[in-house]
Structure 1
Amino acid sequence: MTGSSKASFCSMKDFLKQTGGFAVIDGGLATEFERHGADLNDPLWSAKCLVTSPHLIHSVHLDYLEAGADIISSSSYQATIQGFQAKGFSIEESESLLTKSVEIACEARNTYYDKCGTSSSMDDIILKKRPILVAASVGSYGAYLADGSEYSGIYGDSITLEKLKDFHRRRVQVLAESGADLIAFETIPNKIEAQAFAELLEEGDVKIPGWFSFNSKDGVNVVSGDSIKECIAIAESCEKVVAVGINCTPPRFIEGLVNEIEKVTSKPILVYPNSGESYDAERKEWVENTGVGDEDFVSYVEKWMDAGVSLLGGCCRTTPTTIRAIHKRLVNRRSH
């Protein structure tokens, strides 16, 4: 799986055998774009960079690969056909931008492989030819609303299972045909959306697998209050889901959630928490000094692996420095 991994990615378990039992997921994208000067105060959020600064997306993907990430996610978390249309794009242009998000990630992977062949590794840059997956990111319906409801899971009585499937269907199909290895269904806030994603995967039009990642604000349930076990059970029953876990959740909650997840799944478990900082949905910004630094974040990694986690990374407010530190912990674990 060097070069394009498309033909040989069959299951996450097989991938993990090639990576020594553990793999590194990349870190935050949108907050990293902002750190580089991008203004994402827009309903498109990180997807705005697909229009304004695709070179920045490529650069951040490459930063994560050089930090040791084995899996990078496309900048399509908040990219939806409906969201692009609201900004004046046609359906064709909207679908093209979805495809572009994956193409940029694949190009970054190719750039990384080229660098592996021509450059000597520096102390802070990992240049090692290894299996690398590109995951097409799919955010929840709440992410499209851009009102913070992916952190509550409260969509109202008018949102039904069929409406959610209709909302996501074409977007998922386009991303599945864009060259990605799998689809990362991320920050899933409730059972009904998990069910919608599972049914879309099983409809037959989606030819690649996916992972399901939920978020929690209390360390017990997903953010809507739905049972984490019931949500994971939906993913467990879907053959095309190749890994399950937690993202965009404070690090202190991860171990307890993983202990519950492990009781109801046989699939690989993934975690990519945020920095622990609070998000102010009204002001659309992260509250400074409410989270943990890289050193404290990475101090949890051994506990997560001991609890059964095999894929580890970061979400909002984590950086390539965070991912490099996780990579070093995993190198030590693999060597043992």
Structure 2
Amino acid sequence: MTQVLILDGGTGRELARSGAPFRQPEWSALALIEAPEYVSRVHHAYIAAGADVITTNSYAVVPFHISEERFARDGARLAALAGRLAREAADGAARPVRVAGSLPPVCGSYRPDLVDLDRARPVLEVLVEALAPHVDHWQAETLSALAEAELVARLVAGTGKPLWLSFTLQDEDTGAAPALRSGESVEEAVDLALRAGAQALLFNCSQPEVMLSAVEQARAAGAAGRALPIGVYANAFPPMNSDSEANSGLDPIREDLTPEGYAAFARAWAQAGASIIGGCCGIGPEHIAELARLRATA
């Protein structure tokens, strides 16, 4: 893992664990609204753990979580605050730390059937404009369908910031090849990422067991040969079925995914060709510290 770039872990769970204001429907956005110092603490915790990249706390700054009315009134301000808090934490670090601008699936996570590009476009436009001064690259994450990625690629094209595309995968054990939650293939995701000029292709917010085959499929589809870095940041949930909704509540966390247990998966991803590794929901600073330790001792 000597050449692996280390991402941070999940933000929402870590905010809740740290005692930040946290409830539905606002989820991780509530800390931005009521107690932004907790967001800064989470960023600093991941930097101290060894993360090379921290992610803006903008995932829940969407009408789905904070309501249409609040988003219209405060969405741009809250997104800008999320960007500024991450930038300040990164700039205050004793070593180089990058800031990823989180661009979420606007109409609901894990639900390709709810994708509505006309609804998503104006929301993403607000997020992109507000975050742009603060981020080093865009991280469109937990994408369920290729259409979401295509929209983001168009919207950030004029910002001059690199784009990373990250897809969530089907968790149900069908025995089939890994696929996006829409049923579209990893090969199609690789093709889109290359056509869109993305600078990395990642898989996130799915269980660790499905990630290895996705990395292998991405490499087989030519990602490695065309210098498209592959990344993984899995969650710590049990498998999520197709009718699940991310962030609908605090889902149980698997007991086997200790820092050491998660690192065992990470080693396999790195050996298969992943060069960007971090964590998603339920993966905390202690997990990231173990990844950093492994990299340092490899």
TM-score, scaled to structure 1: 0.78
Q: Which runs of 5+ in 1 are unaligned?
A: 1-18, 114-128, 144-149
- Render the CA deviation track for 1:183-233: whole Å, top value 9, x for unaligned: 11110011111111122233x2x2211210001123611112121221231
1:200 lines up with 2:200 in the alignment: no
3-state SS of the aligned residue for 1:137? Answer: strand
Q: Which of 45, 53, 64 is equivalent to 1:63? A: 45
Q: Residues 1-336 of structure 1 correspond to what in structure 2 (within 5 A)?
A: 21-80=3-62, 84=66, 86=68, 88=70, 90-91=72-73, 93-113=74-94, 129=95, 131-143=96-108, 150-155=109-114, 159=116, 161-176=117-132, 178-202=133-157, 204=158, 206-218=159-171, 220-239=178-197, 241-262=198-219, 263-265=221-223, 266=226, 267-278=228-239, 281=245, 284-289=249-254, 292-333=257-298
1:122 counterpart residue number = none
2:12 & 2:31 partners in 1: Cα distance?
9
The CA deviation at 1:287 is 2.3
The CA deviation at 1:46 is 0.7
Contact 2:206–2:239, Cα closer than 8 Å, also in 1:
no
1:87 & 1:32 partners in 2: Cα distance?
27
Identity of aligned residues (%): 27
Contact 1:278–1:291, Cα closer than 8 Å, also in 2:
no
Contact 1:187–1:248, Cα closer than 8 Å, also in 2:
yes
Contact 2:143–2:168, Cα closer than 8 Å, also in 1:
yes
3-state SS of the aligned residue for 1:297? Answer: helix
Relative to structure 1, the CA distance from residue 82 to residue 283 in structure 2 (aligned partners, 3 Å threshold; closer, same or farther) is closer
Relative to structure 1, the CA distance from residue 82 to residue 292 in structure 2 (aligned partners, 3 Å threshold; closer, same or farther) is closer
Choose 1 or 2 for highest CA Rg.
1
The CA deviation at 1:165 is 2.9
The CA deviation at 1:89 is 5.9
The CA deviation at 1:110 is 3.1
Contact 2:55–2:101, Cα closer than 8 Å, also in 1:
yes
3-state SS of the aligned residue for 1:28? Answer: coil
The CA deviation at 1:83 is 5.5
1:314 & 1:250 partners in 2: Cα distance?
11
1:16 counterpart residue number = none
Contact 2:238–2:254, Cα closer than 8 Å, also in 1:
yes
The CA deviation at 1:86 is 2.9
Q: What amino acid is aligned across from residue 89 of structure 2 in structure 1?
A: A
1:11 counterpart residue number = none
- Render the CA deviation track for 1:138-173: whole Å, top value 9, x for unaligned: 110234xxxxxx1232216xx3x4543344223222
Instruction: Compare 26-35 and 225-234 and name the one that shifted more.
Output: 225-234
What RMSD, in angstroms, separates the aligned Cα atoms of the two structures?
Answer: 2.4
3-state SS of the aligned residue for 1:223? Answer: coil
